[in-house]
Amino acid sequence: MRWLAFLLVPALFAGLALSTGALPFKLGVPGLCALLLLGMLPRSPEGRRRELWSVIAAFGMSMVGDYFLSSRRGHVHYFEVGIAAFFVAHLGYLRYSLLNGRLHRLALVVLTVVFLPYFALALAPAIHGGALWVAVLLYLLISCIGLAAAVGLKSPAGAKGFYVAGIGLVVASDTIISFNEFLHWRALNGWILPTYYLAQLAITTSILLRSDPRPDCRTSPESRGASQSPG
């Protein structure tokens, strides 16, 4: 639990990023969250380390995506590169969820029922270029799958709640970006970065709340029983 206090540092960077718009502060939010998880690696069993590396990699790819989206003025393909980086970040979050649970099928059905018509009726007609059309569709699908997997996470209620909220906020931030980029509806633009930073803080909080590492998944039942036997 003592690790939670260190979240004040990326939270401070989030506030500075929102107030100044400076790229180092923007990159610092996911970067510092990743450093917190790196600090947990030495005291974690190997199975737990694989989970942590999935989210650390996701935060790293988020930094890449942040750089390209923040620097894309005058660069034609930086937006697509940013989408690709965040797509890989979603894969990291998804791997963490599946290592600790399963895909929640009902949630996936609900999400696809909402987002696929949104893509077909609103986004697709507004997207010019076949490659970007495919990229946005794939990104939408991985977002739905990732959030459904988060709902299927098997963790204590508090940790699960923060993780679902975190992935949900990522999806919310991305949806607002799609309003701005493709539909030119900018009423919610002020929420893009706050929801994004809150997402990273919530995901990190969820993992830190799981303060008791689960047993290494490669440990056999016999060896666990032997370790618990007296003498």
Sequence-ordered list of residues with C-beta below 8 angstroms from that of 175, at least 6 positions apart, any chain: none
Cβ contact 160:107 at 8 Å: no
DSSP string, 14-29: HHHHHHH--HHHHHHH
Q: Which stretches within the chain are classed as H helix?
A: 8-20, 23-40, 46-70, 78-99, 105-118, 130-151, 157-183, 192-209, 221-228
Provide Rg for the chain, Cα atoms.
Answer: 19
133-173 residue pLDDT tens:
999 999 999 999 999 999 999 988 899 999 999 999 999 99
Confidence of residue 210 (pLDDT cuts 50, 70, 90): confident
Q: Which of 72, 84, 70, 88 is nearest to 28 (CA)?
A: 70
12-29 residue pLDDT tens:
999 999 999 999 999 999
Q: In the chain, how long is the greatest CA-to-CA distance?
A: 70
Cβ contact 176:227 at 8 Å: no
Q: Does 224 have pLDDT greater than 50?
A: no
75-102 residue pLDDT tens:
878 999 999 999 999 999 999 999 999 9
Quote the distance between the C-alpha of residue 15 and its chain's center: 19
Amino acid letter at 106?
L
